[in-house]
Chains A and B, each alone.
Chain A
Amino acid sequence: MHDFHYHRASSLADALKALAAAKDGRLLAGGMTLLPTVKQRLASPSDLVDLAGLTELRGIRAENGGLGVGAMTTHAEVAHSPDVRKTIPVLAALAESIGDPQVRNRGTIGGSIANNDPAADYPAAVLGLDATVVTNKRKIKADDFFKGLFETALGEDEIVTAVHFPRPEKAAYVKFPSPASRYALVGVLVAKTAGGVRVAVTGAGACVFRVKEMEEALAKSFTADAVKGIKIPSKGLNSDLHGGADYRAHLISVLAGRAVTACG
């Protein structure tokens, strides 16, 4: 890696100040993407502003029947939280399926969604569960948060502080891991929520997305058969050594059916 300035922020305001002062500063959450990228010299930020000291960004709280998850809460904390397991078990299961123990002990929900890797798991949870992203400035509905490949609605001076998840009636996440990386080649989260059925797909496209046709079909009949037959157009989907766009499109239908079954 190249040299950089390291700041351990003592407050949100302090973090924002350090970020504003930096030539090419980056916020450091768990660092599970940023640090390997820096080590490989694929990114050379002038400053890293570490959010690890901001205890107010950490923790899980019951909120309006759902859960508020602090941005700096690790995947392991979410996976092992009795509150999450009780209130939104799908979220705990999804967090438990991310990476390996080392990653789960370091990686954070805020870092994951701010990075918005097309094959990350958390975006499927945030979008599929109709969550709200809370920042230092505003609240952003999930539908407005994920914008494209590694792109979100976050402004340059905006820090994710928490994510609020309403409690779904039922929900399940089924991931088909890419054989080598075990990132999601395709991951589908199906949820029956207060606002209707939601189907969120990660891994398949440039960015997590919803499948309206499936949602409508499931609203009528919440059965695996209702989605299995729905063919997803492969146009615009990801294609790589581990699966073409047609395979990914096919997997969306298969996994959506399995997720519905898993919802019980």
Chain B
Amino acid sequence: MADTGIGASVRRKEDFRFLTGRGTYTDDINRPNQAHAYFLRSPHAHAKIKSIDVAAAKKAPGVVSILTGADIVADKVGSLICGWVVKDKQGNPHKAPAHPPLAKDTVRYVGDHVAVVIAETLPQARDAAELIKVDYQVLPAVVDPARALDPGAAQVHAEAPKNLCYDWEIGDKAATEAAFKSAHHVTKLDLINNRLIPNAMEPRAAIGEYDPAYESYTCYSTSQNPHVLRLILCAFVLGVPEHKMRVVAPDVGGGFGSKIYCYAEETVCTWAARKVGRPVKWTAERGESFLSDAHGRDHVTHAELAMDKDGKFLGLKVDTIANMGSYLSTFATCVPTYLYATLLAGQYTTPAIYCEVKAVFTTTAPVDAYRGAGRPEAAYLIERLVETAARELKIDPAELRRRNFIKPHQFPYQTPVALQYDSGNYERTLDEALKLIDYKGFPARKAESAKRGKLRGIGLSAYVEACGIAPSAVVGSLGAGVGLWESGHIRFDPTGSVRIFTGSHSHGQGHETTNAQIVSDLLGVPIDKIEVVHGDTDRVPFGMGTYGSRSAAVGGSAIFKAADKIIAKGKKIAAHLLEAAEQDIEHAHGVFKVKGTDKQKTIGEIAFAAYVPHNYPAGLEPGLDETAFYDPANFTYPAGVHIGEVEIDRDTGVVTVVNWAAVDDFGTVINPMVVEGQVHGGIAQGIGQALLENAVYDKETGQLLTGSFMDYCMPRADDLPSFKIGMTHTPCPHNPLGVKGCGEAGAIAAPPALMNAVTDALGVRHMEMPASPARVWQVLQKTAKAAE
């Protein structure tokens, strides 16, 4: 089974479907008698709605219905919720102002939902929307998180004075202060983690449908977690019993976090479907995605690192302001707290850490988890700080890291910021990366670049992250409104084919292949006899979906546990068929054998016996169909070292990434090719953040200035070098597969490595991301002037 089992680079089963255009995405689905929704959005960042006049629009051709905030109020539709309650320094819950799916009396960002026009066709809905007269009283905007707390800043919500959502802390403040008092050297850095717009290839879409015969709803949605969407829609927003709601997330073209959340659009389509008695469909235009998908990052931070004379880290102090945007998105509050500050130890033994985070409201789109979610912000801060410290202390940056690494014998390692790292070997990973990039050869390469008039720089990043967020009891104690386990269900058919039902959801990650590999390996089923089913609440057991690189570690483990149950039952059946004692049956890869004999039954024979139980153990249930729920004991802790090399054109400021080595420790790897693909994509997005991407709102008007690909710069293939990928394997000790998670690593590792390389090449202490040509040129101008 080695060719299709765990560890094999099996070609992705789903790719033929996707590459030949045979995928079924939400927008490909059309329901009988379907109407189309167009959302009228706020053109202002902040305004009171004095009145909405829909009279002329209602008379427009094809209009079925026009709904506004008044209808939301009349129907008692609930607020969109934030599912994670963060408590502030005093133990008070965060401020969570109401977030109506259609604005009631105030709009708070450009793109906020004012009304929905439902018509026979989309063009008719758009035409009618132009006839809606909204009288706005424009209010001042505030877009910069660093300015949101200023006296006199525009107030976004009356419920959140000074725009403060929470003022939170973690770590031992006194111990940290004491560490700084004894320090030989302190490195200080102010940095901004730039705001990003996720831009999944497939824009968000939804179809709401209501069946009066069964009084039940169906919501087709581009969701990363259909069950959680169902839970939120039913229990919090629409007040529908869960058994009367089906959520289907069919093929989904990328999410990167932005499709975790319960948004206004699918809520309104589902609600409106019953009101108008017809299925209601909406598909975002790219411009709507820019305006209204939850954005990522947007931190402003001051950090200080205290060291002794040998460069040993003594303490770390961090002060961060995090932008929440206008309303709290579904998991917004946990991102700059439990997914960020808890990672501030990085790969190092820093004994004392203290971090304060102020989350603020602004008149911008909601901000939530985006590939990495908090961990990129932590890694960027730590690794920029460590690199800067190395330069200040004139210690080789690799050496400074080495001196401070948590050593293999120290695992499990309790950090001063709550997490207990389970396993790792940071030094070995560093050594591999240094070898892969030929670190020793860098000075010669730099000299060669200089000959061509180019500035060359090298930068390291040694990151650790936390994936498969769990266990449920712990996340519950930290404020999560949900559990974070996963379900796995293996169903054999009488002829031996298998369906795997998983509560995780694939939107590009290749689960149809990797989950099948787990079962193919454990149960010896040929991979083409296995189908993976996900994304339909009526078909799969309740599950928590896919985000935070959890699908293999948590979802894969649930499938493993279900396979265990299949094997246990299979042994009983085999013992009966082989006329042996159950304890004498040994199982490996789908073959049940009587110990020490050549008597055996295959899983196919077992499955047939289970469904045609003519000769069958007395008292044993027929069928071969098992479900397991898996709640992990801890997070997993993937870690790695990325090293980037850049060349800078002094005349134009263009940064070219010329060399990249990535060595990651993801524990056990199910499909190396799929994992490499995830690493490639992650690095591309990380390089995107560091070099190209930047979401910019106008400071005065609050208009999104980067509202299209004309101005928002996505990474393209020719922006990237050919990556050198390496891996080390320290298996996760607490899940049965030993896997750690790989989906976000590249996006976490890349920005600091790249900015360390850029600042190295430029010979400057710091510059903000993205290192665009114009910005780099400005830095070059300044350094040239300073040199004069």
Cβ of B25 within 8 Å of any chain A Cβ, yes or no, is no
A251-B713 contact given A241-B705, A244-B774, CB 8 Å threshold: no
Question: Beyond the given A40-B287, A181-B710, could you list 14 further A-B residue pairs with CB under 8 A, ordered by the A residue number?
Answer: A1-B123, A176-B652, A176-B773, A179-B713, A180-B709, A180-B711, A180-B713, A180-B714, A181-B709, A240-B711, A241-B696, A241-B711, A244-B774, A247-B773
Of all chain B residues, the one with the shortest Cβ separation from A181 is: B710
Residues of B within 8 A of A254 (CB): 651-652
Q: Are the C-beta atoms of A179 and B773 separated by less than 8 Å?
A: yes
Q: Name B772's contact: one of A2, A40, A176, A179 (CB within 8 Å).
A: A179
Of all chain A residues, the one with the shortest Cβ separation from B651 is: A254
Task: Provide the bound-state CA to CA distance between A121 and B778, in Å.
Answer: 26
Task: Provide the bound-state CA to CA distance between A179 and B694, in Å.
Answer: 12
Q: Are the C-beta atoms of A179 and B709 separated by less than 8 Å?
A: no
| Beta-carbon contacts under 8 Å, B126-179 to A | 126-127
Binary interface encoding of chain B residues 680-711 relative to chain A, with 1 for a CB under 8 A from any of its CBs, else 0: 00000000000010101000000001100111
Residues of B within 8 A of A179 (CB): 692, 713, 772-773
27 contacts between A and B (CB under 8 A): A1-B123, A40-B287, A41-B126, A176-B652, A179-B692, A179-B713, A179-B772, A179-B773, A180-B711, A180-B712, A180-B714, A181-B709, A181-B711, A183-B710, A240-B711, A241-B706, A242-B713, A242-B772, A243-B773, A244-B774, A247-B653, A247-B773, A247-B774, A247-B777, A247-B778, A254-B651, A254-B652
Task: Provide the bound-state CA to CA distance between A59 and B337, in Å.
Answer: 63
Binary interface encoding of chain A residues 225-263 relative to chain B, with 1 for a CB under 8 A from any of its CBs, else 0: 000000000000000111110010011001000000000
Residues of A within 8 A of B778 (CB): 247
Task: Provide the bound-state CA to CA distance between A181 and B708, in Å.
Answer: 9
Interface residues on chain B, size class: 20 to 34
Of all chain B residues, the one with the shortest Cβ separation from A257 is: B651
Binary interface encoding of chain B residues 202-237 relative to chain A, with 1 for a CB under 8 A from any of its CBs, else 0: 000000000000000000000000000000000000
Q: Are the C-beta atoms of A2 and B774 separated by less than 8 Å?
A: no
Task: Provide the bound-state CA to CA distance between A183 and B652, in Å.
Answer: 16
| Beta-carbon contacts under 8 Å, A1-36 to B | 1-2
Q: Are the C-beta atoms of B652 and A243 separated by less than 8 Å?
A: no
Task: Provide the bound-state CA to CA distance between A251 and B651, in Å.
Answer: 8
Residues of B within 8 A of A242 (CB): 711, 713, 772, 774
| Beta-carbon contacts under 8 Å, B627-654 to A | 651-653
Contact surface of B with A, Cβ cutoff 8 Å: 123, 126-127, 287, 651-653, 692, 694, 696, 705-706, 709-714, 772-774, 777-778
Residues of A within 8 A of B772 (CB): 179, 242
Task: Provide the bound-state CA to CA distance between A243 and B772, in Å.
Answer: 9
Which label, helix, strand, loop or mixed, suits the secondary structure of the A interface?
Answer: loop
| Distance between B480 CB and nearest chain A CB, rounded to angstroms | 37
Of all chain B residues, the one with the shortest Cβ separation from A248 is: B774
Which label, helix, strand, loop or mixed, suits the secondary structure of the B interface?
Answer: loop
| Distance between A239 CB and nearest chain B CB, rounded to angstroms | 10
Residues of A within 8 A of B713 (CB): 179-180, 242
Of all chain A residues, the one with the shortest Cβ separation from B778 is: A247
Residues of A within 8 A of B777 (CB): 247, 250
Interface residues on chain A, size class: 10 to 19
| Distance between B452 CB and nearest chain A CB, rounded to angstroms | 14
| Distance between B688 CB and nearest chain A CB, rounded to angstroms | 11
Nearest 3 A-B pairs (CB), nearest first? A180-B713, A243-B774, A181-B710
Of all chain A residues, the one with the shortest Cβ separation from B693 is: A180
Among A179, A181, A251, the one with the most B-chain Cβ atoms within 10 Å of its Cβ is A179
Residues of A within 8 A of B709 (CB): 180-181
Task: Provide the bound-state CA to CA distance between A187 and B123, in Å.
Answer: 39
Of all chain B residues, the one with the shortest Cβ separation from A247 is: B774
Task: Provide the bound-state CA to CA distance between A254 and B652, in Å.
Answer: 8
Task: Provide the bound-state CA to CA distance between A180 and B710, in Å.
Answer: 6
Task: Provide the bound-state CA to CA distance between A251 and B773, in Å.
Answer: 11
Residues of B within 8 A of A240 (CB): 711
Task: Provide the bound-state CA to CA distance between A250 and B712, in Å.
Answer: 23
| Distance between A242 CB and nearest chain B CB, rounded to angstroms | 6
Of all chain B residues, the one with the shortest Cβ separation from A2 is: B127
Task: Provide the bound-state CA to CA distance between A243 and B778, in Å.
Answer: 10
Task: Provide the bound-state CA to CA distance between A244 and B778, in Å.
Answer: 10
Task: Provide the bound-state CA to CA distance between A181 and B774, in Å.
Answer: 15
| Beta-carbon contacts under 8 Å, A174-194 to B | 176, 179-181, 183
Residues of A within 8 A of B694 (CB): 241
Task: Provide the bound-state CA to CA distance between A240 and B712, in Å.
Answer: 12
Task: Provide the bound-state CA to CA distance between A247 and B287, in Å.
Answer: 29
Task: Provide the bound-state CA to CA distance between A180 and B651, in Å.
Answer: 20
Residues of A within 8 A of B773 (CB): 176, 179, 243, 247
Of all chain A residues, the one with the shortest Cβ separation from B774 is: A243
Task: Provide the bound-state CA to CA distance between A244 and B709, in Å.
Answer: 19
Task: Provide the bound-state CA to CA distance between A243 and B777, in Å.
Answer: 10
Task: Provide the bound-state CA to CA distance between A218 and B694, in Å.
Answer: 39
Task: Provide the bound-state CA to CA distance between A264 and B96, in Å.
Answer: 66
| Distance between B696 CB and nearest chain A CB, rounded to angstroms | 6
Of all chain A residues, the one with the shortest Cβ separation from B712 is: A180
| Distance between B256 CB and nearest chain A CB, rounded to angstroms | 19
Residues of B within 8 A of A244 (CB): 774
Among B706, B710, B778, the one with the most A-chain Cβ atoms within 10 Å of its Cβ is B710
| Distance between B289 CB and nearest chain A CB, rounded to angstroms | 14
| Distance between A264 CB and nearest chain B CB, rounded to angstroms | 19
Residues of A within 8 A of B652 (CB): 176, 251, 254
Residues of B within 8 A of A2 (CB): 127
Task: Provide the bound-state CA to CA distance between A242 and B774, in Å.
Answer: 7
Task: Provide the bound-state CA to CA distance between A16 and B420, in Å.
Answer: 77
Task: Provide the bound-state CA to CA distance between A138 and B694, in Å.
Answer: 47
Residues of B within 8 A of A183 (CB): 710
Residues of A within 8 A of B123 (CB): 1
Among B123, B126, B711, B774, the one with the most A-chain Cβ atoms within 10 Å of its Cβ is B774
Of all chain A residues, the one with the shortest Cβ separation from B706 is: A241
Task: Provide the bound-state CA to CA distance between A56 and B461, in Å.
Answer: 61
Residues of A within 8 A of B126 (CB): 41
Residues of B within 8 A of A180 (CB): 692, 706, 709-714
Residues of A within 8 A of B714 (CB): 180
| Distance between A36 CB and nearest chain B CB, rounded to angstroms | 10
Residues of A within 8 A of B692 (CB): 179-180
Task: Provide the bound-state CA to CA distance between A57 and B653, in Å.
Answer: 42
Among B123, B287, B713, B714, the one with the most A-chain Cβ atoms within 10 Å of its Cβ is B713
| Distance between B702 CB and nearest chain A CB, rounded to angstroms | 16
Residues of B within 8 A of A251 (CB): 652
Of all chain B residues, the one with the shortest Cβ separation from A244 is: B774
| Distance between A259 CB and nearest chain B CB, rounded to angstroms | 13
Residues of A within 8 A of B712 (CB): 180
Task: Provide the bound-state CA to CA distance between A180 and B692, in Å.
Answer: 8
Residues of B within 8 A of A250 (CB): 777
Task: Provide the bound-state CA to CA distance between A261 and B775, in Å.
Answer: 26
Task: Provide the bound-state CA to CA distance between A176 and B649, in Å.
Answer: 12
Residues of B within 8 A of A1 (CB): 123
Residues of A within 8 A of B774 (CB): 242-244, 247
Task: Provide the bound-state CA to CA distance between A41 and B772, in Å.
Answer: 32
Residues of B within 8 A of A176 (CB): 652, 773
| Distance between B60 CB and nearest chain A CB, rounded to angstroms | 13
| Distance between A221 CB and nearest chain B CB, rounded to angstroms | 20
Among B126, B287, B772, the one with the most A-chain Cβ atoms within 10 Å of its Cβ is B772
Task: Provide the bound-state CA to CA distance between A99 and B709, in Å.
Answer: 13
| Distance between B522 CB and nearest chain A CB, rounded to angstroms | 46
| Distance between A80 CB and nearest chain B CB, rounded to angstroms | 21
Task: Provide the bound-state CA to CA distance between A12 and B104, in Å.
Answer: 55
Of all chain A residues, the one with the shortest Cβ separation from B649 is: A254
Residues of B within 8 A of A181 (CB): 709-711
| Distance between B763 CB and nearest chain A CB, rounded to angstroms | 20
Residues of B within 8 A of A243 (CB): 773-774
Residues of A within 8 A of B651 (CB): 254
| Distance between A174 CB and nearest chain B CB, rounded to angstroms | 11
Of all chain A residues, the one with the shortest Cβ separation from B777 is: A247
Of all chain A residues, the one with the shortest Cβ separation from B772 is: A179
